[in-house]
Chains A and B, each alone.
Chain A
């Protein structure tokens, strides 16, 4: 019989509450404001953004922070590399939207995971002009980013430079070339062909 309260209380791993250890290296978490200051220090005026604070908890309130920033596509890869040197970066996913003249990608990273209550979501926005929607791949730094990059290619019509595998992931092979489901400027004729409202067709 397991008498202990498994999974509750202080971590049984030494120092895991304050540091994240991997490959003999140790990661010491910093506060969201401090991380934002460091980003500013390294990337200067090329980044703009803010730190958002949220509160969680019922009886014991805890604060947590999110960083939302914007960076040019030329410097984006450097930022990802810089974050990866702090800790093997976790990319949750990249989302994106059609913002009129531009396509805005938002990469959602997590830093300082594995340290109690210290994780910071870093949401990085990159704008790409529609006439030249090209961005460098980050799979050389985070190999797990491949599926989300492939998805952005087929859904938003961007081009990821040096992507190791450019095939479609989720859309079917029958979807016409040049139709991108998340874009607002699709040809209405093609849209009519591709999108069906089954409830209106009595199905």
Chain B
């Protein structure tokens, strides 16, 4: 019997998910046997824009707009790289405020992801519930920074706004709130039998593969690699805290498999970790008075940067993994080199081993499981290689396949 395989392109455009990207899957029946990625649909040439048109201060706001969800992670890494290049030390209070904003962002990002994951496997009630509890942290961010996203808090040599007593009170209240709802979050994502059956043994990334494919963030930790910049190389106020990376076996009490379920466990417990970090940072902030920037006059800062010669790297553990920026200054209005490395850039390659052997119905949750900052599936065209016939399958149809699978599992559980 002749072997019959299909090529299934997914993407590149889809309005419901975050960004655009295309997958070309070769399937044999329901099983994926080969995966190819087609990237770059949303490459905006920002590195070119900054090195040709922007001064280092303007570039902060370009960095902030690389991503809407991690809109503190990129400026965080960027200002670190610039400070190293120009030999600037931000004041202590600024270091604490930077870390606070980053942790608040992690809470909202992980809860947002949990909602997306719930939607992909067909639990829309859960999607709405998680996004409802996410509002609390967004309110806190709005009070402190003035914005729900793109906070514009970071600047070279410090931060732009202080957090007053009222702000600290609100952060503490929010931490208390997430402590209270956390049990429910564990109950619905980690302890729920259907979620576990639906995500266990799906999209497996072994530890060896995660190391070889240089995966970062929860994708690597879900496979048991204890990699977290806040732990490996503490920076800013993180050096004052004792953080260890969240690995799934601590909570599942099972062997780490590196599947979708393990990645869910890592992200859910990182929410609680961020709550602890926030409480510690609030204590630290209350006992550390002082200025929030090393130089208030931006003209002075700009002049210093214009004269500086040097290079530096900035690293931050974003919700999706390590963000890496490299900047070089050489007596010019603009930075000479700026290289941005977002976590998904490293996690792309992990999709290939994850998707191999998966069913088409599992593809949406596998794609979502690395929390891509650049993903998407708009439509699937199923092409029969032998007859040349093609039929277009929408993401909605594909999702419905996924939902049907969940329903079947749920029936079996009852």
Residue of B nearest to A8 (CB): B276
What CA separation (Å) do A88 and B245 show in the bound complex? 18
Q: Does A123 contact B (CB under 8 A)?
A: yes
When the two chains form the complex, which single residue of B96, B273, B324, B349 contacts A146, counting CB atoms closer than 8 Å?
A: B349
Q: Are A5 and B238 in contact (CB under 8 A)?
A: no
Which among B2-10, B205-213, B363-371 touches the partner chain? Answer: B205-213
Q: Does A11 contact B (CB under 8 A)?
A: yes
A96 CB → nearest B CB, Å: 8
Binary A-proximity of B311-345 (CB < 8 A = 1, otherwise 0): 00101000000101010100000001101010001
Chain B, 196-215, CB within 8 A of any chain A CB? 207-208, 211-215
B321 CB → nearest A CB, Å: 10
Residue of B nearest to A119 (CB): B232
Enumerate chain A residues within 8 angstroms of B246, measured Cβ to Cβ.
6-7
Q: Are A6 and B273 in contact (CB under 8 A)?
A: yes
Q: Does B45 contact A (CB under 8 A)?
A: yes
Residue of B nearest to A5 (CB): B276
Q: Are B231 and A8 in contact (CB under 8 A)?
A: no
What CA separation (Å) do A195 and B339 show in the bound complex? 19
Q: Does A129 contact B (CB under 8 A)?
A: no
Q: Are B345 and A93 in contact (CB under 8 A)?
A: yes
Enumerate chain B residues within 8 angstroms of A112, measured Cβ to Cβ.
232
Enumerate chain A residues within 8 angstroms of B328, measured Cβ to Cβ.
97
Q: Does A142 contact B (CB under 8 A)?
A: yes
Q: Are A8 and B214 in contact (CB under 8 A)?
A: no
Q: Are A114 and B225 in contact (CB under 8 A)?
A: yes
When the two chains form the complex, which single residue of B84, B183, B186, B243 contacts A8, counting CB atoms closer than 8 Å?
A: B243
Interface of chain A, helix or strand or loop or mixed?
loop
When the two chains form the complex, which single residue of B92, B232, B272, B339 contacts A95, counting CB atoms closer than 8 Å?
A: B339
Enumerate chain A residues within 8 angstroms of B48, measured Cβ to Cβ.
181-182, 195
Residue of B nearest to A165 (CB): B36
Q: Does B167 contact A (CB under 8 A)?
A: no
Q: Does A33 contact B (CB under 8 A)?
A: no
B191 CB → nearest A CB, Å: 12
User: Contact size class for A?
Assistant: 35 or more
B51 CB → nearest A CB, Å: 8
Q: Does B409 contact A (CB under 8 A)?
A: no
Q: Are A181 and B183 in contact (CB under 8 A)?
A: no
Q: Are B337 and A56 in contact (CB under 8 A)?
A: no
Q: Are B226 and A16 in contact (CB under 8 A)?
A: yes
What CA separation (Å) do A6 and B272 show in the bound complex? 7
Q: Contacts A56-B235, A58-B96, A114-B225; is A6 near B269 (CB within 8 Å)?
A: yes
What CA separation (Å) do A97 and B45 show in the bound complex? 15
Which among A37-45, A60-68, A73-81 touches the partner chain? Answer: A60-68
Q: Are A1 and B348 in contact (CB under 8 A)?
A: no
What CA separation (Å) do A121 and B213 show in the bound complex? 18
Binary A-proximity of B14-46 (CB < 8 A = 1, otherwise 0): 000000000000000000000000011001010
What CA separation (Å) do A143 and B211 show in the bound complex? 9
Q: Does A161 contact B (CB under 8 A)?
A: no
When the two chains form the complex, which single residue of A54, A108, A117 contacts B84, counting CB atoms closer than 8 Å?
A: A54
Q: Are B313 and A170 in contact (CB under 8 A)?
A: no
Enumerate chain B residues within 8 angstroms of A114, measured Cβ to Cβ.
225-227, 232, 245
Q: Contacts A7-B270, A58-B288; is A142 near B239 (CB within 8 Å)?
A: no
When the two chains form the complex, which single residue of A8, A106, A117, A142 contacts B234, counting CB atoms closer than 8 Å?
A: A117
Chain A, 100-142, CB within 8 A of any chain B CB? 106, 108, 110, 112-121, 123, 142
What CA separation (Å) do A57 and B238 show in the bound complex? 7
Enumerate chain A residues within 8 angstroms of B212, measured Cβ to Cβ.
88, 142-144
Enumerate chain B residues within 8 angstroms of A145, measured Cβ to Cβ.
214
Q: Are B182 and A13 in contact (CB under 8 A)?
A: no
Q: Does B168 contact A (CB under 8 A)?
A: no
When the two chains form the complex, which single residue of A22, A56, A117, A144 contacts B346, counting CB atoms closer than 8 Å?
A: A144
Residue of A nearest to B52 (CB): A195
A30 CB → nearest B CB, Å: 15
What CA separation (Å) do A66 and B227 show in the bound complex? 18
What CA separation (Å) do A123 and B92 show in the bound complex? 27
The 4 lowest CB-CB distance pairs between A and B, nearest first, are: A7-B273, A57-B239, A144-B214, A95-B339
List 16 A–B pairs whose Cβ atoms lie within 8 Å, in order of A's numbering. A8-B242, A16-B226, A20-B226, A22-B207, A59-B284, A59-B288, A66-B313, A88-B212, A93-B346, A113-B227, A116-B231, A144-B349, A145-B214, A169-B40, A170-B39, A171-B40
5 additional A-B pairs beyond A23-B208, A92-B214, A95-B326, beta carbons within 8 Å, are A10-B244, A90-B214, A93-B346, A172-B40, A181-B48
Contacts from B to A (Cβ < 8 Å): 39-40, 43, 45, 47-48, 53, 84, 92, 95-96, 182-183, 186, 207-208, 211-215, 225-227, 229, 231-247, 250, 269-270, 272-273, 276-277, 280, 284, 288, 313, 315, 322, 324, 326, 328, 336-337, 339, 341, 345-346, 348-349
